Amino acid sequence: MAFREYKIGCMMFGFALSFSMFVTIYLPGIDISGMSSTKVALEKQLTYGWESGFNYYDPFLQGKDKPIKVVLSKDPRTGAAIDKTNAYVFKAGTHFPNGLTHDNILGENVQAVSTSKGRIGEASEEKGGVFLVRVDADDTPYIEFATATRGWNVDAVLKASDSQSLAGSGKTMFVREGCWWCHTLLPEQTQDWQTFGRPPLVGDFNGESPTTFGSDRKAPDLLHVGSRNSSREWMTMHFFNPRLVQPHSIMPRYDYLWGTKDSEGNTIDLKAWDVEYKAYAAGAEGSIYPPEVPIPASDSEARMLIDFVLNLK
């Protein structure tokens, strides 16, 4: 620092950079953090759990440490019939999303109602529990800790459920397999309404991590894909080999996510399948239909990913 000018220069530099960070990080941070969670954000948090990218509890992104989303049509405690209800089951030890563990994520009103009516303050990660997303008379969405409010415990809910979705683990697959390099989860505000549906709102993201918007769309937006196409059969074929249902697709095959056994315990031979498929694709004599796509086992990664995609309503 031989010259006085450099001292002044360094001070100016420090001032400019700090001011830039004040305007571009601190001020937007206040605005964004002040937004209340929407119902969508509550559902997403309870579906995806704490973190879907790399984390200490699932370092290799295998879909561990995730809640299970179930559909109930009877009360698991009394057995009485109820309206179809989505419940989010956190087995003991599963980490809660930030909205349940930090006071500043849900937003003031949502936090207040979730605490008073929903009794989320009584929930603990060690014991686990069952959560619901509700809307009160003032249209404020809130989280209800059903284990406290209705006595629904984890095992009873899993037993009484009509169906179970591994969408939370599926989001981990979505991140790990890089689906978001081509499929955005962000219908644009100025167009996309007709084909891809409603763009997300500011409060739709509270507590979600990572958000995996995607930036480079090489394939359809998926934010509402489950509403456009809710066929599990179609999704299964499409993930196994997209060219089976869309001949012009450039999507990679995800057949390796099926693992070694299908849902009935039969060994999956991908090489043999590929030989048959090639014969079919080449129009070989006697090969009228493509080979059967195996049904993924209930704990396979393919099942998780399909559950995730179908859950994107």
Partner 1 sequence: MLKYLMAKEENIPQGTAALFFGISSIAWFIIGTGIGSFNAAKLAFPDWYHGLYALQFGHMRQVHVHAVIFGWIGMAFAASMMYITPALGNTKLWSEKMGVWNCLLYNVGLCLALALLWSGVTSGREYSDHVWPIDLYIAFVMVVPWSLNVWMTILNRRTQGIYTTNWFFAACMFMTVIVFLVGNLPEFFHLTGLNEAYMTWWFAHNILGLLITPVAAAITYYIVPKITGNPLYSHRVGHLHFWSIVVFYSTPAAHHLMSSPLPEWLKSFASVEGVLILVPAVAYVCNILLTMQGKWSLFVSNIEIKFTITGVLLAIPLNMQGGFQQTRAINWYIHGTGWIVAHAHLALLGFSTFAEAASVYYGMQVLLRRKLYSASLANFHFWMLLIGFSLYWTSMTISGLIQGAAKIYEVPYVDVVIAEHPYMIVRWIGGTMVFFGNIIWMYNMVMTARCGNPIPAGRQPVEVAYTR
Based on the shown chain and the rule CB under 8 A, indicate whether residue 28 belongs to the binding site for partner 1. yes
Site for partner 1 in 52-111 (CB under 8 A): 52-54, 59-61, 97-98, 105
Q: Which is nearer to partner 1, 62 or 85 (CB)?
A: 62
Site for partner 1 in 210-269 (CB under 8 A): 210-220, 242-243, 246, 248-253, 256
CB of 212 to partner 1, least distance (A): 6
Q: Which is nearer to partner 1, 121 or 210 (CB)?
A: 210
Please tell me the count of residues contacting partner 1 according to CB under 8 A.
83
Q: Which is nearer to partner 1, 127 or 198 (CB)?
A: 198
CB of 294 to partner 1, least distance (A): 16
Task: Please work out, in degrees rounded to the nearest 5, the angle formed at the alpha carbon of residue 163 by the alpha carbons of 157 and 169.
Answer: 90
3-state SS string for the chain: CCCHHHHHHHHHHHHHHHHHHHHHHHHHHHHHHCCCCCHHHHHHHHHHCCCCCCCCCCCCCCCCCCCEEEEEEECCCCCCEEEEEEEEEECCCCCCCHHHHCCCCCCHHHHHHHHHCCCHHHCCCCCCEEEEEEECCCCCEEEEEHHHHCCCCHHHHHHHCCEEECHHHHHHHHHHCCHHHCCCCCCCCCCCHHHHCCCCCHHHHCCCCCCCCCCCCCCCCCCCHHHHCCCHHHHHHHHHCHHHCCCCCCCCCCHHHHCCEECCCCECCHHHHHHHHHHHHCCCCCCCCCCCCCCECCCCHHHHHHHHHHCCC
CB of 166 to partner 1, least distance (A): 18
Site for partner 1 in 174-193 (CB under 8 A): 175-181, 184, 186, 188-192
Based on the shown chain and the rule CB under 8 A, indicate whether residue 13 belongs to the binding site for partner 1. yes
Based on the shown chain and the rule CB under 8 A, indicate whether residue 26 belongs to the binding site for partner 1. no
Q: Which is nearer to partner 1, 73 or 102 (CB)?
A: 102
CB of 208 to partner 1, least distance (A): 6
CB of 11 to partner 1, least distance (A): 13
Q: Which is nearer to partner 1, 13 or 151 (CB)?
A: 13
Based on the shown chain and the rule CB under 8 A, indicate whether residue 201 belongs to the binding site for partner 1. yes
Q: Which is nearer to partner 1, 146 or 257 (CB)?
A: 257
